[in-house]
Chains A and B, each alone.
Chain A
Amino acid sequence: MNIFLLAIKNSTSKMLSTSLSCILLALSIGLLLFISQINKALDHQLQNNFAGIDMVVGAKGSPLQLVLSSVFHIDNPTGNITYDEYTKLKKHPWTKEVVPISLGDNYNGYRIIGTTANFASLYKTTLEKGKNATNPMEVVLGSQVAEQSKLTLGDKIHGTHGLLANQEGGKHEEHMMIVVGIYQSTGKVIDRLITTPLETIWMLHHEDTEDGHTDHEEQHHDPHKEEHHSYEEEHHNLHEEEHHSHKGETHIKEVTALLVSFRNPRALLMLPRHINDTTGTMAALPKFEMDKLTQTTGIGTQTIQWIAYIILGISVLSIFIHLYKTIKERSYELALMRTYGASRWQLVQLVGYEGILITTLGLLLGILCSQIGLSIMFTVIENQYKQSITTIHLYIDIIQVSLILALVISIVILFAMYPITKMDISKILSHEN
Chain B
Amino acid sequence: MQICCVKTHKVISTENLQFSYPNGGVQLRFPDISLDKGEELLILGKSGIGKTTLLHLLAGLLKPDSGFIKINDTTTQSLSNRKMDRFRGENIGIVFQRMHTIPSLTVIETLKLRLYLAKKKKPYTHLDTILKQLNLSTHKNHRVTELSTGQLQRLGIACAVIHSPSLILADEPTSSLDDDHCNQSIELLKSQAKQSQSNLIIITHDTRITAAFDTIITL
Interface residues of chain A, those whose CB is within 8 Å of chain B, are 1-2, 6, 9-10, 12-13, 332-333, 336-346, 425-426, 429-430, 432
Contact = CB atoms under 8 A, between A and B. Distances in A.
A342 B56 contact: no
Contact of A341 (B52, B85, B104): B85
Contacts of B94: 339
Contacts of B79: none
Interface string B94-116: 10111011111100010011111
A337 B117 contact: yes
Those 7 A-B pairs whose CB atoms lie nearest each other, nearest first: A341-B89, A13-B104, A1-B112, A340-B117, A426-B61, A9-B104, A341-B117
A74 to B, nearest CB: 56
Interface in B109-155: 109, 112-119
Nearest to A430: B52
Contact of B81 (A2, A340, A344): A344
Nearest to B119: A341
Given A432-B98, A432-B100, A339 B116 contact: no
Nearest to B87: A341
Given A333-B101, A430-B53, 4 more contacts: A332-B100, A337-B102, A341-B90, A425-B61
B1 to A, nearest CB: 33
B159 A340 contact: yes
Nearest to A330: B102
Nearest to A340: B117
A184 B101 CA distance: 69
19 contacts: A6-B105, A9-B109, A12-B104, A333-B101, A333-B102, A336-B100, A337-B113, A338-B85, A340-B117, A340-B118, A341-B85, A341-B88, A341-B90, A342-B89, A426-B61, A429-B56, A429-B61, A432-B98, A432-B100
Contacts of A345: 82
A342 B117 contact: yes
B9 to A, nearest CB: 27
A6 B56 CA distance: 26
Interface residues of B, number: 34
Nearest to B165: A341
Contact of A340 (B52, B61, B89): B89
A337 to B, nearest CB: 6
Contacts of A430: 52-53, 56
Contacts of B102: 6, 10, 333, 336-337
B77 to A, nearest CB: 13
Contact of B62 (A2, A9, A426): A426
Given A343-B86, A426-B61, A1 B109 contact: yes
Nearest to B94: A339
Contacts of A10: 102, 104
B202 interface: no
B61 to A, nearest CB: 4
A12 B94 CA distance: 28
B17 interface: no
B85 to A, nearest CB: 5
Interface of B: 52-53, 56, 59, 61-62, 81-82, 85-86, 88-90, 92, 94, 96-98, 100-105, 109, 112-119, 159
Contacts of B59: 339
B89 A333 contact: no
B85 A344 contact: yes
A336 B89 CA distance: 11
A425 B60 CA distance: 10
A9 B101 CA distance: 14
Contacts of A336: 96, 100-102
Contacts of A341: 85-86, 88-90, 117-119
A9 B105 contact: yes
Nearest to B100: A332
Contacts of B86: 341, 343
Interface centre among A2, A6, A339 (most CB of B within 10 A): A339
Contacts of B101: 333, 336
B103 A13 contact: yes
A332 B88 CA distance: 17
B34 to A, nearest CB: 24
Nearest to B102: A333
B192 to A, nearest CB: 17
Nearest to B86: A341
Contacts of B89: 340-342
Contacts of B100: 332-333, 336, 432
Contacts of B118: 340-341
Contacts of B85: 338, 341-344
A81 B166 CA distance: 101
B82 A429 contact: no
Contacts of A338: 61, 85, 88
Contacts of B103: 13, 333
A1 B159 CA distance: 14
B170 to A, nearest CB: 13
Contacts of B96: 336, 429, 432
Contacts of B159: 340
A261 B116 CA distance: 74
A212 B62 CA distance: 104
A13 B112 CA distance: 18
Nearest to B89: A341
B61 A339 contact: yes
Contacts of A344: 81-82, 85
A2 B116 contact: yes
Contacts of B116: 1-2
A10 B102 CA distance: 9
A430 B55 CA distance: 10
